[in-house]
Amino acid sequence: MKEIAKLLFGGLALALCATAQAAADPILIVKGKIGVFNNASRTEYRFDEGSLLRLPQRTISTKTTWTAKSAFSGPAISDILRVVAAGGSQIDVVTYDEYKVTLPLSDLERYHPIMARFINGKPLQRRDFGPLWVMYPVSDFAELQKVKSDAKLAWQVKYIVVR
């Protein structure tokens, strides 16, 4: 009976550890020319979902090539970069399938894009553009309503490299 209890307790402990680890997994990693780190090797800043959602949240109401007009919400990319004390003049946004788009920092001042976590109040899932989607106010700027600008709307974002 003691052996069964040990096995059950050990399994429960492993499950709890796995759950705690999953909760601490980063939803976004920022690396490159940054001045603030939160990992032991001092090479990157890892945002878990809670830390990302504690940043001021913005909403952009816009349509995209892939969606009808929707409300996208999440932190401004400029706020994310402020947290990590980013330097440089551009960022590379890299997705889970290794798609990469380079965004000039001047875009952050002109268009105020966000790292959307929600669409119409619902969390973005990996199967529907999530967990994070770079969102610009496409409907507000004629120059963003071109096919070339669609490339900036990277979805399933995994990390950012500041250059």
Rounded to two decimals, the pTM is 0.84
- Statement: residue 7 has pLDDT above 60: no
Note the pLDDT tens digit of each residue in 67-93.
Answer: 999 999 999 999 999 999 999 999 999
- Statement: residue 12 has pLDDT above 90: no
Q: Distance (Å, rounded) from C-alpha 100 to C-alpha 123? A: 23
Token digits for 70? 């929707």
Q: Where are the domains of the chain?
A: 26-162
Would you state the pLDDT for residue 23?
Answer: 43
116-137 mean pLDDT: 97
Would you state the pLDDT for residue 148?
Answer: 87
| Range in 12-16, 63-67, 115-119, 149-153 with the lowest mean pLDDT | 12-16
What are residue 31's DSSP bridge partners?
A: 44, 161
Nearest to 59, CA basis, from 68, 72, 69: 72
Would you state the pLDDT for residue 24?
Answer: 65
Pick the CATH number of 26-162 from 2.40.37.10, 3.30.1370.60, 3.90.420.10, 3.30.160.270: 3.90.420.10
Contact predicate 135/124, CB 8 Å: no
